[in-house]
Amino acid sequence: MSRCLPLFFALCFLLVSGCARPLVLTVDSMGTPGQDARYVILPGMDSVRGDDLFFVEYKRQLAQLLGSMGYQVTENEADATAVVLLSWQTAVETTTVHGGGPVVGMGMGSSSGGYHRSGPFFGLGVGFPLGGGSGPSRTYRYQITLDAVSFALDADSPASKSLWKVILAAADDENNLRAAFPAMLEAAKPYIGADSHGPISVSVARK
**Which phi and psi angles does 133 have, rounded to 5°?**
85, 175
Q: What domains can be seen in the chain, in order of their start residue?
A: 23-92+138-204 (3.30.160)
- Residue 12: its pLDDT value, please? 46
Residues in the chain: 207
Task: For residue range 37-53, list pLDDT tens digits in order.
Answer: 999 999 999 999 999 99
What DSSP designation does 132 have?
S
| Per-residue pLDDT band at 17 (split at 50, 70, 90) | very low
Task: For residue range 122-162, list pLDDT tens digits in order.
Answer: 454 545 555 555 678 899 999 999 999 998 655 555 667 89
- Region of 116 please: left (phi>0), alpha (psi -120 to 50) or beta: left
DSSP output for 152-184: P-STTS-SEEEEEEEEEEEEESS--HHHHHHHH
Amino acid at site 3: R
Q: How many other C-beta atoms lie within 10 A of the C-beta of residue 80?
A: 20
**Which phi and psi angles does 94 have, rounded to 5°?**
-110, 125
- The Cα–Cα gap between 204 and 184 comes to 8
**Which phi and psi angles does 191 have, rounded to 5°?**
-110, 0
- Residue 161: its pLDDT value, please? 87
| Global pTM value | 0.72
Q: How many other C-beta atoms lie within 10 A of the C-beta of residue 118?
A: 15
Burial (CB count <10 Å: 0-12, 13-18, 19+), residue 204 = buried
CA angle 142, 147, 149 (to 5 degrees): 170
